[in-house]
Chains A and B, each alone.
With several copies, the nearest count.
Chain A
């Protein structure tokens, strides 16, 4: 069984082989090092000249990639740590996200910007954050988050090869080493995968939302929503809730964070009446805030209970115990769920 890291790495190789317009720009991406988290390993050997190791210039390389994308290439940018997404905020917000609409739909910016997010490695305040929330509300950007479920590599390959919109691709650091799980690997769960064929620029099979229910369980009384690595913690929590507390949940896992496609989550909450969102970033104006707001808007009083599990509103400390206290974990999820039903 392959890991998420392997799946992403293979997808990059496939994308490079499939389309010679694909380039990659990033810091320290050349072999033998192959990138700080090794997602690009082997790529520069296999495709010399198309994997460009760059100076430490996050804004510059993002802008350069945007220029490449506007002129017919399909660049991928690796930002070494997601914490440095702040450095590319202007390129993303005022350039990349705007071109298509501002130029009256005359251009496309097919660019994928990949970056690892997340803590639990003791890297401290500037190398452990989960900052994607800063970009989830920027019109014109698609934000994807692969998961250990389904096919993370396919998500990446489709983003690179088939999606003409700019994509931010969020990879949680702890996700990398999780084995990729398909239906058969999750015997306790019934897995459904939902896509949105009604969307105007629908790409078949792209960016599915997964829904997990424990097999043969009674009707769920709570919806959990989570993505990326947190979906794994939510899965563990779902099992504990079922076996230890007889609380049955439906776990909904989107792979597209923005634009918000909340239908599957709202559909689930219609059934359960309760929504618990789980994310690794700090609470305020995180992904969960938008989900809760949309649920409240659509469901009104039928949303009987709403809660968010998220990081404490503090920088991520280096000291391990402290870091654990600040970041959300399975216990937080279980305890919050218990309070909600």
Chain B
């Protein structure tokens, strides 16, 4: 198990990366748009810290945190966001379309869920004992293909963990306007056991995930983890329709960095902060100096 310092490092790396992204966006270094993981760091770190090298992750539009918690390289991600040929996808994918080792993301909501389910099944068919973890938001529960996937995952016992990050909002739409009934039932209705957790504490999530990923691996069967969580930033950039007070309160009460950071000796923590900030800055600077791809230089 990664120690508290290491877990903190992972959390803060995501935090600092995402803050840098939002801070630097207006300067025009990045292309397109972005969906930052601010506030949800404990989910990715708590869950993905259990992964073994062969395990597979399928992520969505809000993928930076997942990618970094998976072990993805800061520079490769900055470079991707900046559209450089050194980006993890050579600048072709951009923020939402990442692939690195066994990590995959795509920007069409819901469509990644059957994909992940198929990957889990393939690993089972190939007897690799690898676990597949896939993330989806509360809003993504609106997409029908999610349920097609849950049904088949249950019928064929896919070794997959579905992680719902319920931040109670989809872009600007509150969960009350978009999710009828309740989330756990949507998994148990298909025969997929489900654990629900309302926490921003990486240790609590880590412990819950340990159990579920263990079950997925041992029993080669699907599980779901519903994480009630908080989005601190805008959906993408400058598009937060919630009241500032509401967001301030979330940041005060539910900050994974604060919660877990308090477990560290403050000098140690400061040292980690400094080193992470440096790591992030260096990756940013390095990416900024990298070349951009041109069509003629790449295979059609």
Q: Do chains A and B touch in the complex (CB under 8 A)?
A: yes
Q: Mark A124-151, 1 if CB is under 8 A from B, else 0.
A: 1111000000000000000000000000
CB distance from A298 to the nearest CB of B (A): 20
Q: Mark A48-71, 1 if CB is under 8 A from B, else 0.
A: 000011111101111111111111
Cα–Cα, bound, A247→B215 (Å):
71
A-B contact count (CB 8 A): 241
Determine if A63 and B114 form an interchain contact, defined as CB atoms under 8 angstroms apart: yes
In A215-264, the 8 Å CB interface with B consists of none
In A1-41, the 8 Å CB interface with B consists of 23, 27-28, 30, 32-33, 36
Q: Looking at chain A, what size class is its interface with the partner chain?
A: 35 or more
- Measured CB to CB, the nearest residue on chain B to A317 is B92
Question: Which one of A59, A64, A105, A318 contacts B83 once the chains associate, using CB atoms below 8 Å?
Answer: A318
Q: Judge if A72 is at the interface, Cβ distance under 8 Å.
A: yes
Q: Judge if A121 is at the interface, Cβ distance under 8 Å.
A: yes
- Measured CB to CB, the nearest residue on chain B to A95 is B111
- Measured CB to CB, the nearest residue on chain A to B96 is A124
Question: Which one of B80, B93, B99, B122 contacts A72 once the chains associate, using CB atoms below 8 Å?
Answer: B122
Q: Judge if A90 is at the interface, Cβ distance under 8 Å.
A: yes
With a CB–CB cut-off of 8 A, which chain B residues contact A326?
Answer: 295
CB distance from A329 to the nearest CB of B (A): 13
With a CB–CB cut-off of 8 A, which chain A residues contact B152?
Answer: 54-55, 57, 60-61, 64
- Measured CB to CB, the nearest residue on chain A to B105 is A103
In B168-219, the 8 Å CB interface with A consists of 170-173, 177-179
In B243-264, the 8 Å CB interface with A consists of none
Cα–Cα, bound, A124→B63 (Å):
14
Determine if A23 and B125 form an interchain contact, defined as CB atoms under 8 angstroms apart: yes
Determine if B114 and A62 form an interchain contact, defined as CB atoms under 8 angstroms apart: yes
Cα–Cα, bound, A228→B135 (Å):
37
Which of B45-53, B139-147, B220-228, B268-276 forms part of the interface with chain A?
Answer: B139-147
Determine if A64 and B114 form an interchain contact, defined as CB atoms under 8 angstroms apart: yes
Max count, chain A CB within 10 A of own CB: residue among B80, B108, B148, B149? B108
Q: Judge if A73 is at the interface, Cβ distance under 8 Å.
A: yes
Q: Judge if B166 is at the interface, Cβ distance under 8 Å.
A: no
- Measured CB to CB, the nearest residue on chain B to A103 is B99
Determine if A71 and B122 form an interchain contact, defined as CB atoms under 8 angstroms apart: yes
Determine if A315 and B92 form an interchain contact, defined as CB atoms under 8 angstroms apart: yes
Q: Judge if A107 is at the interface, Cβ distance under 8 Å.
A: yes
Q: Judge if A321 is at the interface, Cβ distance under 8 Å.
A: yes
With a CB–CB cut-off of 8 A, which chain B residues contact A323?
Answer: 31
- Measured CB to CB, the nearest residue on chain B to A313 is B300
Determine if A322 and B294 form an interchain contact, defined as CB atoms under 8 angstroms apart: yes
Determine if B118 and A318 form an interchain contact, defined as CB atoms under 8 angstroms apart: no
Determine if A60 and B114 form an interchain contact, defined as CB atoms under 8 angstroms apart: yes
Question: Which one of B179, B241, B299 contacts A55 once the chains associate, using CB atoms below 8 Å?
Answer: B179
- Measured CB to CB, the nearest residue on chain B to A65 is B118
Determine if A124 and B97 form an interchain contact, defined as CB atoms under 8 angstroms apart: yes
Q: Please give the number of chain B residues whose Cβ is less than 8 angstroms from any Cβ of chain A in the complex.
A: 71
Q: Provided the pairs A57-B148, A63-B145, A71-B123 are in contact, do residues A90 and B93 lie with their beta carbons within 8 angstroms?
A: no
- Measured CB to CB, the nearest residue on chain A to B120 is A67
Determine if B118 and A59 form an interchain contact, defined as CB atoms under 8 angstroms apart: no
Q: Provided the pairs A28-B171, A105-B299, A123-B32 are in contact, do residues A63 and B118 lie with their beta carbons within 8 angstroms?
A: yes
Cα–Cα, bound, A65→B32 (Å):
30
Determine if A95 and B108 form an interchain contact, defined as CB atoms under 8 angstroms apart: yes
In B84-100, the 8 Å CB interface with A consists of 84, 87-97, 99
CB distance from A321 to the nearest CB of B (A): 5
In B4-49, the 8 Å CB interface with A consists of 30-33
Q: Provided the pairs A55-B148, A57-B151, A319-B293 are in contact, do residues A122 and B83 lie with their beta carbons within 8 angstroms?
A: yes
Q: Mark A249-288, 1 if CB is under 8 A from B, else 0.
A: 0000000000000000000000000000000000000000
Question: Which one of B89, B148, B171, B179 contacts A60 once the chains associate, using CB atoms below 8 Å?
Answer: B148
Cα–Cα, bound, A125→B123 (Å):
27
In A297-341, the 8 Å CB interface with B consists of 312, 314-315, 317-323, 325-326
Determine if A57 and B32 form an interchain contact, defined as CB atoms under 8 angstroms apart: no
Q: Provided the pairs A59-B144, A67-B114, A106-B89 are in contact, do residues A321 and B97 lie with their beta carbons within 8 angstroms?
A: no
Determine if B173 and A53 form an interchain contact, defined as CB atoms under 8 angstroms apart: yes
- Measured CB to CB, the nearest residue on chain A to B299 is A105
Q: Provided the pairs A125-B97, A320-B83 are in contact, do residues A90 and B108 lie with their beta carbons within 8 angstroms?
A: yes
CB distance from A110 to the nearest CB of B (A): 12
Determine if B99 and A106 form an interchain contact, defined as CB atoms under 8 angstroms apart: yes
With a CB–CB cut-off of 8 A, which chain A residues contact B108?
Answer: 83-84, 87, 90, 94-95, 126
Determine if B122 and A321 form an interchain contact, defined as CB atoms under 8 angstroms apart: no
Report, nearest first, the 6 A-B pairs whose CB atoms are least far apart: A67-B118, A318-B94, A63-B114, A319-B83, A60-B148, A122-B31
Known: A64-B117, A71-B118, A73-B122. 12 other contacts (CB 8 A): A55-B170, A56-B142, A57-B152, A60-B152, A61-B152, A64-B118, A67-B115, A71-B119, A95-B108, A106-B89, A122-B94, A124-B93
- 30 residue pairs of the A-B complex, CB under 8 angstroms, read A27-B173, A28-B172, A54-B152, A55-B178, A55-B179, A59-B144, A61-B148, A63-B118, A63-B145, A63-B149, A64-B149, A67-B114, A67-B115, A67-B119, A70-B115, A95-B106, A95-B108, A95-B115, A102-B93, A102-B97, A104-B89, A104-B92, A106-B99, A124-B95, A124-B97, A318-B91, A318-B92, A321-B294, A322-B83, A322-B292
What residues of chain B have their CB less than 8 Å away from a CB belonging to chain A?
A: 30-33, 56, 58, 80, 83-84, 87-97, 99, 104, 106-123, 125-126, 139-145, 148-149, 151-152, 155-156, 170-173, 177-179, 239, 241, 292-295, 298-300
